[in-house]
C-alpha cells in the first residue's frame, strides 16, 4: 500500500471532519516522517495536523482513522476557543462523543525486545532492559541490593 498524496489526505480528513463534527476542515494536514512515538499531532499556532505515515502503512484503516479523529478533536476545540488539551474536560467529552481513541496502539515495527536481564541478589526483582546497565554503578531500585546480569 502506498501513501496518500496531499490532496487525498486532505479529502480524507475533511470527510471525517464533516461526518463526525459537521464542520469542514479548512487548514493543512501533512504526513510527517519524523514522528516516531506518536500517531499524529496538532500544532495550534499553525493550525496544522501532522500524521505519522507508518500508521497508515503498518496499521489497519480503523486505527489510522481513529488517529485523525483524535487530532480533529484538538483542532475543532482550538478553533472554537474551548479546552483542546488532553486534560481538559471539553476534550475528553468530545473524544467520547465522536468515539475517538485517547491513545494510539504501538506500531508493530517499534515493539522493543529486551536484550539484557538483571536480577537483584537480595529481593530477586528482575529488570529487563534494552541497553546494558553498569552493575558497579547502579543498584536495585526497590531494596538497594546488588544487581547481577543473567
Catalytic residue among 7, 11, 71, 126: 71
Q: Is 63 a catalytic residue?
A: no
43 Cβ contact partners less than 8 Å away, ≥ 6 residues apart: 49, 50
Residues annotated as catalytic (active site), given as ranges:
71
Amino acid at each position: 500500500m502506498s501513501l496518500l498524496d496531499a490532496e487525498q489526505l486532505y479529502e480524507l480528513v475533511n470527510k471525517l471532519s464533516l461526518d463526525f463534527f459537521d464542520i469542514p476542515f479548512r487548514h493543512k494536514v501533512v504526513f510527517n516522517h519524523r514522528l516516531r512515538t506518536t500517531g499524529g499531532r496538532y500544532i495550534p499556532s499553525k493550525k496544522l495536523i501532522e500524521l505519522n505515515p507508518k500508521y497508515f502503512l503498518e496499521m489497519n484503516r480503523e486505527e489510522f482513522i481513529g488517529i485523525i479523529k483524535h487530532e480533529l478533536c484538538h483542532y475543532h476545540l482550538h478553533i472554537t476557543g474551548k479546552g483542546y488539551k488532553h486534560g481538559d474536560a471539553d476534550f475528553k467529552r468530545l473524544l467520547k462523543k465522536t468515539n475517538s481513541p485517547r491513545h494510539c496502539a504501538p506500531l508493530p515495527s517499534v515493539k522493543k525486545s529486551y536484550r539484557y536481564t538483571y536480577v537483584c541478589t537480595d529481593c530477586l526483582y528482575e529488570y529487563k532492559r534494552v541497553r546494558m546497565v553498569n552493575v558497579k554503578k547502579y543498584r536495585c531500585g526497590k531494596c538497594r541490593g546488588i544487581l547481577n546480569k543473567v
